[in-house]
């Protein structure tokens, strides 16, 4: 049958996808088959990307939130001329391949972010759009003027993170977002009607979005809808694209059978016959490749013109310095905030003071919290709030939306030109865990500010008192968890977090004041993970955060009993673990009995203390009472700690 080159392009994406899934004997063919027309229209008519420079700063961001449809992205990137080869397509889901089962962040390949857990791409894309709005407000549309597109699925829209994110985007009037919803009425196990009967356009209308419904296989209708979305300046756009999962498969179209399993050799033959496809497996017809080459050559010209505008703008020294401060920022060296002699300050307050200094030296820094700015001490006092009326402001009011806030923060940092932090109570890090884990997986240097870090926040009770959360965060690979003990360590924690580019950092901060907050004079010690606070040869107490001052007091009592106890502050176990064994022993001793002291579960501390060491913690939930009462009841007074160490040494 006669086909246009655009139809043949869609069928190329379909056949590459089903061939790759079949060869891997693993994958999701149905969604790529259903969304192929959407991809062809977006990439050949609208998407501003340049395969010759995939990391171009002013490119459009495209996020495949429906990450299971990864072969749609890989096939499209290959046809478009990005450095994903046909051999990469054939190696789908294999060891060492760049074509993983779900897209993994790789900007030089054209892959914007990791999208596995559904809803993460939807929300992270909104973070990218926030970054674009702010940078455009600073530098103007000549240098920053791009859009955020995403393909989203029924599964994305079922996840709660999406409702949080959509509400925020509508409230903020983020008009440069256009999301195409693959509305195929099928989920993994069967029809979506079994569990999902919402009127999605009406729902999104209600939270401030512009919505359109079209036939997702009609190229003209798709183009008109995307144009209308791009013309909508004050609202994000959701285009509900009515599609057929497994499009073209005679026996599996519109069936969950095409969602997560290969079609099978016989069905592939029948499907290709139905599509009028008579090419060998893994074939890209010349006219299809030419279609993408011609379309994207326009983008290369746009990128070259942009580079000329940037060069001209950089003739102004102030503009050049401001641009570099956002896109090539320098490492920071931070100083402890000044303190009154003998004052007790919560480490959340010390962190807040450091943020003010940081904001002065790093104009790329933005941040916010989940409606807890005054409690988290995350407000940048020299700036107002990011709003539709002020896109250059640095404080973002995320509202009580922890999970979306985490994904927004990842998106802001992934976009580039912005360094973002987000704050909430440590207890609510559970709500953010999906985003925190993905940030670590992608190596995104987001910064998480988690306050109210132990049972010692007191009367709010165990629902708000984290005990297992520090250990749970430490379990995430590539996430550095820092629990500072004093002003110097608070400055060092932020210094480490800001200068760390290979992954995220979580700052764990107290609500209550900590004694002797000026023990640490050199913030750089945080980068080593641990340092000696007090020398002593018979036992060493290794503590974190507010327990460092407690350890010092216990060591004083032990000294009165004739026991020489050393104290080590270990604000960052992950940094300590990167030291050589020799350097570690220089800090925590060689053969010296070790005691860990932290107001949380003891899980994980045996790696530091050794099997025979003493681990003092709280392996149960907290209670509602004043902090001083809780300390007594849970054995966290200096006398109780000294007694336990004494008993341990005598055992």
* Residues belonging to the active site: 402
Output 222-231 pairs: Cβ under 8 A, ≥24 positions apart.
Answer: 222/37, 222/38, 222/41, 222/42, 222/180, 223/41, 223/45, 223/46, 226/41, 226/42, 226/45, 226/46, 226/178, 226/180, 229/178, 230/46, 230/147, 230/178
Residue with tokens 């709010």: 460
**C-beta separation of 575 from 526 below 8 A:** yes
What span, in angstroms and rounded, lies between the C-alpha atoms of 512 and 565? 26
Token readout for 378 is 């995350």
**C-beta separation of 214 from 221 below 8 A:** yes
Cα–Cα separations (whole angstroms), residue 195 to 33, 66, 187: 24, 18, 10
- Could you give phi then psi for residue 559, rounded to 5 degrees? -60, -35
Residues facing 180 on adjacent strands = 151, 239
Q: Is 36 helix (H, G, I), strand (E, B) or coil?
A: helix
Nearest partner of 257 among 317, 265, 249, judged by Cα: 249
Token readout for 127 is 């973070």
What span, in angstroms and rounded, lies between the C-alpha atoms of 423 and 377? 9
Residue with tokens 């750089």: 524
Token readout for 232 is 């909508």
The 3-state secondary structure of 374-435, one letter per residue: HHHCCCCCCCCECECCECCCCEEECCCCHHHHHHHHHHHHHHCCCEEEEEEEHHHHHHHHHH
Beta strands in 109-231 (DSSP E): 148-153, 177-183, 210-215
What span, in angstroms and rounded, lies between the C-alpha atoms of 36 and 92? 18
Residue with tokens 């009326």: 389
**Torsion angle defined by CA atoms of residues 84, 85, 90 and 91, in that order, rounded to the nearest 10 degrees:** -60
Query: What residues contact 529, with CB distance under 8 A and at least 6 apart?
Result: 570, 571, 572, 573, 574, 575, 576, 577, 578, 579
What span, in angstroms and rounded, lies between the C-alpha atoms of 396 and 98? 35
């Amino acid at each position: 049958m006669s086909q246009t080159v655009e139809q043949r392009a869609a069928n190329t994406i379909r056949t590459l996808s089903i061939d790759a899934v079949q060869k891997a004997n693993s994958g999701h063919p149905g969604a790529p088959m259903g969304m192929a027309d959407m991809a062809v229209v977006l990439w050949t008519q609208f998407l501003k990307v340049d395969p010759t420079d995939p990391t171009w700063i002013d490119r459009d961001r495209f996020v495949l939130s429906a990450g299971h449809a990864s072969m749609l992205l890989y096939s499209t990137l290959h046809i478009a001329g990005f450095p994903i080869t046909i051999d990469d397509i054939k190696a789908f889901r294999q060891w060492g391949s760049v074509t993983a089962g779900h897209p993994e962040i790789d900007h030089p390949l054209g892959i914007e972010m990791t999208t596995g857990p559904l809803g993460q791409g939807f929300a992270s894309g909104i973070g990218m759009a926030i970054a674009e709005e702010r940078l455009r407000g600073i530098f103007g549309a000549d240098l920053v003027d791009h859009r955020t597109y995403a393909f989203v699925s029924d599964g994305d829209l079922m996840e709660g993170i999406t409702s949080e994110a959509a509400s925020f985007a509508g409230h903020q009037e983020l008009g440069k977002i256009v999301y195409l919803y693959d509305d195929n009425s099928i989920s993994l196990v069967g029809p979506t009607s079994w569990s999902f009967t919402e009127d999605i356009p009406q729902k999104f209308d209600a939270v401030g979005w512009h919505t359109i419904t079209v036939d997702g296989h009609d190229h003209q209708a798709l183009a008109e809808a995307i144009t209308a979305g791009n013309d909508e300046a004050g609202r994000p756009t959701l285009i509900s694209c009515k599609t057929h999962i497994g499009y073209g498969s005679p026996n599996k179209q519109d069936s969950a059978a095409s969602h997560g399993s290969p079609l099978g050799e016989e069905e592939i033959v029948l499907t290709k016959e139905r599509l009028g496809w008579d090419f060998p497996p893994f074939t890209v017809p010349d006219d299809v490749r030419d279609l993408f080459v011609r379309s994207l050559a326009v983008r290369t010209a746009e990128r070259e013109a942009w580079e000329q505008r940037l060069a001209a703008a950089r003739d102004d020294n102030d503009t050049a310095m401001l641009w570099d401060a956002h896109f090539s920022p320098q490492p920071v060296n931070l100083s402890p905030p000044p303190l009154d002699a003998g004052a007790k300050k919560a480490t959340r307050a010390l962190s807040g003071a450091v943020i003010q200094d940081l904001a002065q030296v790093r104009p790329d820094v933005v941040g916010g919290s989940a409606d807890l700015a005054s409690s988290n001490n995350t407000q940048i006092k020299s700036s107002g709030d990011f709003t539709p009326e002020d896109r250059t402001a640095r404080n973002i009011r995320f509202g009580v939306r922890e999970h979306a806030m985490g994904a927004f923060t990842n998106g802001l940092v992934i976009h580039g030109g912005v360094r973002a932090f987000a704050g909430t109570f440590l207890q609510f890090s559970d709500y953010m865990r999906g985003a925190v884990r993905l940030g670590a997986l992608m190596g995104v240097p987001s910064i998480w500010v988690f306050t109210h870090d132990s049972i010692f926040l007191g009367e709010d009770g165990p629902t708000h008192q984290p005990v297992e959360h520090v250990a749970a965060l430490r379990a995430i690979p590539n996430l550095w968890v820092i629990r500072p003990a004093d002003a110097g360590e608070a400055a060092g924690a932020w210094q480490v977090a800001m200068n760390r580019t290979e992954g995220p950092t979580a700052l764990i901060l107290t609500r209550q004041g900590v004694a002797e907050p000026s023990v640490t004079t050199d913030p750089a010690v945080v980068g080593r993970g641990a340092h000696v606070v007090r020398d002593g040869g018979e036992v060493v107490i290794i503590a974190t955060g507010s327990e460092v001052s407690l350890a010092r007091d216990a060591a004083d009592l032990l000294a009165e009993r004739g026991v020489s106890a050393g104290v080590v502050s270990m604000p960052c176990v992950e940094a300590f673990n990167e030291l050589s064994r020799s350097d570690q022993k220089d800090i925590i001793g060689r053969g010296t009995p070790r005691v860990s002291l932290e107001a949380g579960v003891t899980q994980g501390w045996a790696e530091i203390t050794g099997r025979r060491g003493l681990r003092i913690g709280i392996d149960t939930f907290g209670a509602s009472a004043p902090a001083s009462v809780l300390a007594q009841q849970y054995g966290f007074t200096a006398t109780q700690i000294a007694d336990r160490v004494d008993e341990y040494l005598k055992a």
